[in-house]
Amino acid sequence: MAITSQVTGRQYHPSQCVYLVNPRQAAAYMKHGLELLDVYADDGAKSPQLVFVFDMRDSKPLYEMWREHALD
């Protein structure tokens, strides 16, 4: 079932996404042109945090760069 973001208006399928809580990583992804599908507040943790949603397939190359500390 597709979800429509209240922030971006984009539709996405949750099983085809990655969910980031690290704002530096999310900002680096966006800096390198990856489209943000959604952002929402998750209050399930000890303190509320933002969750950034990106397409899993499109984010894979950036994730590899992030792991190698090659993404600024």
Q: CA–CA separation, 45 vs 66, rounded Å? A: 24
Look up residue 53 and give its two tokens.
Answer: 């949603």
User: 14: left (phi > 0), else alpha (psi -120 to 50), else beta?
Assistant: alpha
Tell me the average pLDDT of the chain.
95
In this model, does residue 72 exceed pLDDT 90?
Answer: no
Cross-strand partners of 40: 51
Per domain, the residue ranges of the chain are: 3-67
Give the three-state DSSP class for 20. strand
Write the pLDDT tens digit of every residue in 22-57: 999 999 999 999 999 999 999 876 888 999 999 999
